[in-house]
C-alpha cells in the first residue's frame, strides 16, 4: 500500500479557472462582484436599480444564474447593458467554468464592471470562487436575523453585506441591530450597508462603495498598449 500525500484543494480545478478569470479581470481593469443571497432577498431588483444608475455609456455587463428560466436576464436586459443568463439546469451554484463559458465572445476590453448574480442559495455558492473581487451577500428584512449564524461560511467570506428591504422594517419582526450583531459575530470586520432596492433608500452609500471599488480596479489595471 502506498500513501500519497496530495494536500490540495478539492476544488483545485475550479480554483485554477477562477485564477484565470481573476487575471483576465485584472488585465482589463474590470471590477467583478458576485451577488449571493437566498431566493427572494432581492438580488435582481438590486441589480436593476443599480444598472438604472449608470449612464448608457458605462461599461457594465451582467451574468445571471438560475436553475431554470431566463426571466432575470429579460428583466436586466431592459437597461441596455449586455446581459447573459446562465441556466444551470439543476445545479445550485455557479462555478468558474460556467462563468468562463458565459463570457465567451464578449470583448472584455469594452467593460469595466461585471456583476454576477449567483443562484439563490446561501450554502453552495460560498465554496466556488468565480474570480470575483468581492462576494456581496444580501440579507433581507423578510428573512430571519439569525441567517448569518446559520450560514457562517457565506457571511464570513462577504466583502460587503447588504441589508435589503429596510422599507419593510415597520411591518416585519426583523431586528436590524440583532442582524448586524450576528453578521459581526461571524465576520468581525464586515462592511454593512442598509438599503431598499424598492424605494432606493441607502443607494447613495451603495453607489459610493461601488464607485470606490471600480476606481481601484481601473487604476490597478496595466496601462493599455496602443497601436
Record the cell numbers describing residue 100, joined without a space.
468562463
Interaction of residue 9 with other proteins, rule CB under 8 A? yes
- Looking at residues 93 to 112 of the shown chain, list those that interact with other proteins (rule: CB under 8 A): 93
**Interface mask (CB under 8 A) for other proteins, residues 169-198, using x and -?**
----------------xx-x----------
Interaction of residue 68 with other proteins, rule CB under 8 A? no
Cα dist. 213→29, 31, 103 in Å? 11, 7, 21
The binder of other proteins chosen from 153, 172, 178, 220 (CB under 8 A):
153
The binder of other proteins chosen from 24, 87, 142, 156 (CB under 8 A):
156
Record the cell numbers describing residue 221, joined without a space.
489595471
Sheet containing strand 113-117, edge to edge, reads: 83-87, 60-66, 113-117, 31-37, 134-140, 160-164, 192-194
| Residues 198, 44: Cα–Cα separation, whole Å | 11
Report the nearest approach of other proteins to the CB of residue 119 (Å): 10
Binding site for other proteins (CB under 8 A): 1-14, 91-93, 121, 123-124, 126-127, 149, 151-154, 156, 185-186, 188
Amino acid at each position: 500500500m502506498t500513501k500519497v500525500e496530495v494536500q490540495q484543494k478539492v476544488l483545485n480545478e475550479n480554483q485554477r479557472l477562477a485564477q484565470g478569470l481573476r487575471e483576465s479581470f485584472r488585465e482589463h481593469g474590470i471590477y467583478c462582484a458576485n451577488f449571493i443571497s437566498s431566493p427572494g432577498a432581492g438580488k435582481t431588483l438590486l441589480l436593476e436599480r443599480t444598472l438604472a444608475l449608470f449612464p448608457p455609456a458605462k461599461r457594465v455587463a451582467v451574468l445571471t444564474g438560475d436553475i431554470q428560466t431566463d426571466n432575470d436576464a429579460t428583466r436586466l436586459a431592459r437597461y441596455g447593458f449586455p446581459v447573459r443568463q446562465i441556466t444551470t439546469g439543476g445545479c445550485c451554484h455557479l462555478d468558474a467554468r460556467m462563468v468562463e463559458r458565459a463570457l465567451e465572445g464578449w470583448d472584455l476590453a469594452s467593460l469595466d464592471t461585471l456583476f454576477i448574480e449567483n443562484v439563490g442559495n446561501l450554502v453552495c455558492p460560498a465554496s466556488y470562487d468565480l474570480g470575483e473581487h468581492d462576494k456581496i451577500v444580501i440579507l433581507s428584512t423578510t428573512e430571519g436575523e439569525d441567517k448569518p449564524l446559520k450560514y457562517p461560511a457565506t457571511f464570513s467570506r462577504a466583502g460587503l453585506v447588504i441589508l435589503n428591504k429596510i422599507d419593510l422594517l415597520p411591518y416585519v419582526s426583523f431586528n436590524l441591530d440583532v442582524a448586524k450583531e450576528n453578521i459581526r459575530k461571524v465576520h468581525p470586520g464586515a462592511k454593512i450597508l442598509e438599503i431598499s432596492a424598492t424605494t432606493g433608500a441607502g443607494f447613495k452609500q451603495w453607489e459610493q462603495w461601488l464607485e470606490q471599488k471600480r476606481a481601484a480596479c481601473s487604476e490597478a489595471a496595466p496601462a493599455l498598449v496602443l497601436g
